Amino acid sequence: MEDLLEVLRVQRHNFLNHLQVISGLLQLKKHDRIMDYIIQIGDEYNQDSLVGRLEVPEIVVAILSSDLAAGKQGIKINKRITTGLEKGIAKAEEAADILKQLLKLVISVVWNADSEKQEIELDIKEEAAKYAFRLKLPCSVIEEEFRNEFEALKTKVLILDKDIEVEYEKGLQVLTLKIPVYDNNTDK
């Protein structure tokens, strides 16, 4: 709940800042820059809107609060979402906690990496009766500390019957958290 309140506070603050920038551009009669700025803001809010439409509130909070934490470190999380998680997720609270821990770990790796690109790609889609949360890092080296933390998280995941895989793709480090789609025979 505290994470969600912090996200709301920051969103309100950012919205007021955007209004100030637009007001300043109007006062300076920089009308050509106003439209570009509004389009930029719209693109940012569209990504958050896609997250907000996910049908598992615990996952929404995990992503938005992680996005906020990344932003505080100057890291951008680009989101591509092709599912609304409509079928639900078994053990949603635990799954969201694992996703949040994985995002925290990835943010830490990007923050400490010697990479000019401070961005993470987050793709969310359904594949083979699972929801896949794929994280692409702009660096290809897994440091020992990261590897140990990842293995500890992987152990926790196995206890919850989830599956994390490490893949390499186009020079990027790619991590995937796969969460089974809700099954009527299990508890949600």
* Domain boundaries of the chain, sorted by first residue: 53-180
- Beta pairing partners, 172: 169
Q: What is the distance, to the nearest Å, from the Cα of residue 124 to the centroid of all Cα atoms in its chain?
A: 9
Specify the 3-state DSSP secondary structure of 74: coil
**Percent of the chain with pLDDT strictly greater than 70:** 85
Strands of 163-169's sheet in order across: 76-81, 119-127, 130-137, 172-180, 163-169
Mean pLDDT of 27-51: 88
Q: For the residues 95-106, what does the mean pLDDT come to?
A: 90
Q: Which has more confidence, 4 or 133? A: 133
Residue 66 has what pLDDT? 95
Q: How far apart are CA 85 and CA 77, in angstroms?
A: 19
The residue with tokens 């929801």 is: 131
| Two tokens, residue 121 | 């790609």
3-class SS of residue 81? strand
User: What is the reported pTM?
Assistant: 0.80
Burial of 37 (0-12, 13-18, 19+ CB in 10 A): middle
- Phi/psi at 109 (nearest 5 deg)? -65, -45
Tell me the CATH architecture of domain 53-180: 2-Layer Sandwich (3.30)
Mean pLDDT of the chain: 83
